[in-house]
Copies of this chain bind each other. A is one copy, B any other.
């Protein structure tokens, strides 16, 4: 094998290894999504339980906790199966760091459940605890999307992450609405929060639609039956337009929960579909890359003869480049034009470089959509450092600013960052 061909093969092996790592990460994302879904239900039913002063929803909650424990065990096994001894290069540190955070949260989950059981925590406190754990789980999915080295897989992961994040906003809406109905009294601040959650979820779903493949998007559209939507919008109107302090029908708490749950469960079906597409895409790409690798290696067996190495310095003419070398063209070249073997290897090398470069450009485009979230995180960090806030408080502050100014969170984050230069002290 010539040394050039050896590295052509090595580059292809790297691509395959990255795709295999992506497949593993995708499987992890799948289980993570299932745990998020189960925890969303546990959060909702815990709120109902707390709202009823522990009088109702006890069995339903217990069943849901059992389901969460089953999926948690599955996710922990999934984490354990990650090869943490062989350090992964390329985003490994960030993924593992996110997982470490999630595990700290999972370790604390039974303590949280005990507080809810003994009615020691308010619905609001309980909700925020679940929100924090679920945010940690979603950060794992975000890291997976940000680290994907293949643009098509990255697209699917971005679509999936935004769908999951949108679904989480829907879940928070369900919890906040349940608590508000259960309290029996309209509250202006909570109503603002609900409107904000609705807007946030719609924005996530727009990103999902921009990045999902046609099939998943169609499934999503088909799954939104107009009857459910109409009912949801009717109850949203009742919740959000009641005058501050006006009475709300406590009985609607359950109806609201069921209506939201129906929608969220349908979202789960779309999510499952996306996760399946993701795994299949990884598998297809691994198979295709493996075929190319086999072709390279078949070539290597026949490539010990002398060839016109000087073609490296020949300027390819316009005619040569009119039909660019493809994986197929290469196969024909290998079998049919033995004398041009070295030339073919050079063309293969150039073709590989170009393809990797194009992939890099496409990746940059897809990842740009993740930057919005990064800007928000950066602004949060700035507030934490400057105003000595906790992460939670910084997030609340920005959310409050967004609600008060009727602006999107990203706009507030950009405004915060723009202020960085005029704020006192070392902030960056």
- A residues apposed to B, CB below 8 Å: 2-18, 21, 76, 79-80, 82, 84-85, 87-101, 103-105, 107-108, 111-112, 115, 128-129, 132-133, 149, 309-313, 315-322, 324, 342, 345-346, 349-350, 352-354, 356-358, 360-361, 374, 377-378, 381, 384-385, 387-393
Contact = CB atoms under 8 A, between A and B. Distances in A.
A43 to B, nearest CB: 12
Given A11-B92, A13-B85, A16-B87, 7 more contacts: A3-B80, A15-B93, A97-B349, A104-B345, A105-B312, A315-B390, A318-B387
A315 B346 CA distance: 59
A169 B173 CA distance: 60
A382 B193 CA distance: 49
Contacts of A80: 3
A129 B311 CA distance: 10
Nearest to A96: B11
A105 to B, nearest CB: 5
Given A13-B87, A17-B87, A7 B96 contact: yes
B11 A100 contact: yes
B107 A389 contact: no
Nearest to A384: B321
B321 A92 contact: no
A97 B7 contact: yes
Contacts of A101: 4, 349-350, 353
9 contacts: A7-B97, A14-B92, A18-B87, A18-B93, A104-B346, A111-B309, A316-B390, A316-B391, A318-B393
This protein's copies in its complex? 2
A174 to B, nearest CB: 20
A21 B149 CA distance: 18
Which 9 A-B pairs rank lowest in CB-CB distance, beginning with the nearest? Answer: A90-B90, A17-B87, A14-B92, A10-B84, A7-B100, A11-B96, A108-B312, A316-B390, A14-B93
Nearest to A3: B103
Contacts of A350: 101, 391
B103 A315 contact: no
B312 A97 contact: no
B89 A18 contact: yes
